[in-house]
Amino acid sequence: MTVTAKEARAFYNIGQAEGLTMWSPNVNIFRDPRWGRGQETPGEDPAVASRCGAAFVPGLQGSSSSTKSVPRGAADLGVLQAHHGVRPGGLEGRVADLADTFNPPFRSCVVDGKASCVMCAYTVVNGVPSCANADLLTKTFRGSWGLDGYVAADRDAVAIMRNSQFYRPTAEDTVAATLKAAVRHGRDPEGEADAAGRRQGRQEPLHHPHAAGHFDGDPKTNVYGNLGAAHICTQEHKNLALEAALDGIVLLKNSAGVLPLKRGAVNSAAVIGHNANDVLALIGNYWGPPCAPTTPLQGIQGYVKNVKFLAGCNKAACNVAATPQATALASSSDAVILFMGLSQEQESEGKDTTTLLLPGNQQSLITAVANAAKRPVILVLLTGGPVDITFAQANPKIGAILWAGYPGQAGGLAIAKLPNTWYPEEFTRIPMTDMRMRSAGGYPGRTYRFYNVKTIYKFGYGLSYSKFSHRVVTGRKNPAHNTSLLAAPGLAATVEDNLSYHVDYIGDEVCDQLKFLAVVKVQNHGPMDGKHTALMFLRWLNATDGRPTRQLIGFQSQHIKAGEKANLRFEVSPCEHFSWVREDGRKVIDNGSHFFKVGKHELEISFGAWDLFFFSENKNIYIGTV
């Protein structure tokens, strides 16, 4: 049982919560940097979002088959969200984009996480509202993915279908459309659909409260009945909040080793910025009351004796800036740390940004302070989405840049890798309502997998205080591998070059047997100990016809002492990681060369008519049959 589930049960037991259903995680893809709710998601990569969902759901629901700790649902299934505060009337989702980008995280929540419920969103995709989409709710979620639970409509989604989207002529017809879309046999003849709806209507509303223990008599006798106020805001939980903040902060720039600051070497520090002493700036949107929050200012005061603070801006919009006072303070201090960025006034549900630049006078204030300071300054950005900080990248007087997201209650004590691409301001010329992921005819594409134009920072970017190197050093085939697996008649796809395999034709059993282990040696060359995250990507030889430029296979983190090495193990599934989705939605694996990429190191992998050999450093990998 996770910390979140434990505290949710505790709040419920002491009467401070009316129910136990939690509408999270939000695993929509952060496909546009202007989206106000991107801060709620794991980022732009479907593999990361899928892994998050697969861990998050059972973490809340618990492992008990009889009593769930917290029944929960994946928020806002389907394709996308609100744009500039408006719930869109219609969006076009291409089959390939649905298959390889938007749907995988929700599939993972249901198939791997065993989610007990899902929520359909406000959107109309390809002419059908999400809450009336039988292909999505019945054929996909219940049929293909095996959802054993219920579907809930997002707040007023059904009312919007009738009053704004005019999907059906009457309220009764609209409700009927949503019910038929969600029942198990929504495409059966009318009588069977009605019968299925009655069965589901009787069973599911009772099944989940029963699983949560509502009908087990005295709540104190429940397996979680002993949880109460003593289990909220414990030291263990506060330590975990700090760990989460530390793991989420990304070092974007560190010229001449400005960071880390040495304890005792700084006699005076100037802390400047509207986000430096504001608890709300730490916690983002959809938050509960934080437990013993520490602001960045309070955190720095715990390390430096002489700290002076100035907000600099009246708020994140920074329409009023105290530039003269800020420059005077900076010029008289040994170290200057600026806490700038956005707030929920710029980005939240119903509020998308219209620019990627820092708002108001923030840029001019930062530049003026940097020019006045004795030494290069440190800039800490608190934002949910990416911002264009080209000016700070290029300014030698800004020695270090950190992105902290909205780090939570322990954010002030904390100061990883970027979960999103950081785009230049020119990206805002692209309409948010253009759902295409792949680049085409002057359209640059979206996210690191398909975007083909210069970025401010790439997905997965992040510096370290120490120097690390990577090398794929060894791998082994699955012991159960059958050398004739891919030689069976009919597996070769009928594509133009006749050099690809359809994943569906290979089948789940063979795909499982094709999995193998890849080991990456990571060495910390010093000068500091540190926790390092290694990201393994697959790169295609030719990123054409809808293939990604690269695709994340997995990521592993480990604390490594200076001068030492560690082996990180990645399970590689050719059917999942080597495949790409054609325009018709079919997943295929190309014959021929692919490339593992970890850091600066690449290793060629060939998928084709060869046996799957053991491989070692400086040797190629061959996957296939004799």
pLDDT digits (tens, 9 = 90+) for 145-188: 999 888 888 889 999 999 999 999 999 999 999 988 877 544 44
Whole-number pLDDT of residue 67: 58
In a 13 Å sphere around the CA of 50, the CA atoms on its Cβ side amount to: 18
pLDDT score recorded for residue 64: 58
Classify strands 72-77 and 22-26 as parallel, antiparallel or unpaired. parallel
Among the residue ranges 10-14, 202-206, 251-255, 620-624, the one predicted with the least confidence is 620-624
CATH code: domain of residue 178: 3.20.20.300
State which residues form the domain around 572: 468-624
| Number of separate helices (H) and strands (E) present in the chain | 19, 24
Is the pLDDT assigned to residue 32 strictly greater than 90?
yes
Q: Is residue 228 part of a domain?
A: no
For residues 41 and 171, membership in a common domain is answered with yes
Report the CATH number that the domain containing residue 240 is assigned in CATH: 3.40.50.1700
Same structural domain, 120 and 72: yes
By C-alpha distance, which of 600, 587, 596 is closest to 619?
596
Task: Tell whether the model's pLDDT for residue 330 goes beyond 80.
Answer: yes
Task: Tell me, yes or no, whether 220 lies in a domain.
Answer: no
Secondary structure element (H or E) that encloses residue 505, with its range: helix 503-506
Measured CA to CA, the distance from residue 308 to residue 354 in angstroms comes to 34
Sign of CA dihedral 497, 500, 504, 509: positive
**Residue 246: its pLDDT value, please?**
85
| Residue 9 is assigned to a structural domain of this protein | no
pLDDT of residue 49: 95
* Domain total of the chain: 3
Given pLDDT bands bounded at 50, 70 and 90, which one contains residue 429?
very high
Domain assignment present for residue 487? The answer is yes
The CATH number of the domain where 511 resides is what? 2.60.40.10
**Same domain membership, residue 411 and residue 300:** yes
Position 615 scores a pLDDT of 42
Residue 119 in this model has a pLDDT that exceeds 80: yes
Task: Quickly count: other Cβ atoms within 10 Å of residue 419's Cβ.
Answer: 22
Same domain, 180 and 257: no
Residue 422 inside a domain? The answer is no
Distances, alpha carbon 381 to alpha carbons 6, 266, 356, 357, 385, in Å: 32, 22, 13, 12, 10
Q: Which contacts (CB < 8 Å, 24+ apart) does range 441-450 have?
A: 446/31, 446/32, 446/44, 447/29, 447/31, 447/44, 447/45, 447/101, 447/421, 448/44, 448/45, 448/421, 448/549, 448/550, 449/45, 449/101, 449/548, 449/549, 449/550, 449/551, 450/548, 450/549
Out of 45, 76, 100, 154, pick the active-site residue. Answer: 154
User: What residue spans of 334-429 are helical by DSSP H?
Assistant: 362-372, 390-394, 411-414
Specify if 259 maps to a domain.
yes
Task: Give the span between the Cα atoms of 59 and 69, in whole angstroms.
Answer: 9
| pLDDT above 70 for 488 | no
Q: Count of residues for the chain?
A: 626
pLDDT of residue 521: 94
Model confidence at 109: pLDDT above 70 = yes
Mean pLDDT for the stretch of residues 536-545? 89
Residues 261 and 199 in one domain: no
Same structural domain, 410 and 497: no
Instruction: Say if 218 falls within a structural domain.
Output: no
Does the pLDDT at position 71 exceed 60?
A: no
Q: What is the pLDDT of residues 274-303, one digit of tens each?
A: 999 999 888 888 888 888 889 999 999 988
Cβ–Cβ under 8 Å, residues 231 and 10: yes
Q: Report d(CA 78, CA 89) in Å as an integer.
A: 14
What's the rounded mean pLDDT across residues 215-244?
85
The per-residue pLDDT for range 47-63, each reduced to its tens digit, is: 999 999 999 998 888 76
**Whether residue 169 is found in the same domain as residue 91:** yes
Whether 611 is a known active-site residue: answer no
Based on the fold, state whether residues 35 and 103 are members of the same structural domain.
yes
Domain boundary among 416, 450, 477: 416
* Greatest distance between any 2 Cα atoms in the chain: 80
Verify that 138 and 243 share a domain, yes or no. Answer: no
C-alpha count within 13 angstroms, C-beta hemisphere, residue 353: 31
Show the tokens assigned to 415: 């100061």
Question: How many CB atoms neighbour CB 334 within 10 A?
Answer: 16
Q: 288 and 392 share a domain?
A: yes
pLDDT at 428 over 60: yes
pLDDT for 507 equals: 85
User: Does residue 393 sit in the same domain as residue 501?
Assistant: no
Q: What is the 3-state secondary structure (H, E, C) of 544-572?
A: CCCCCCEEEEEEEEEEECCCCEEEEEEEE
Q: How far apart are CA 238 and CA 175, in angstroms?
A: 45
Domain identity same for 410 and 269: yes
* Separation CA 392–CA 370 (nearest Å): 10
Angle among Cα 578, 581, 582 to the nearest 5 degrees reads 130
Is the N-terminal amide bond of 25 cis, ω within 30° of 0? yes
Over the stretch 81-101, which tens digit does the pLDDT of each residue have?
444 444 545 677 889 999 999
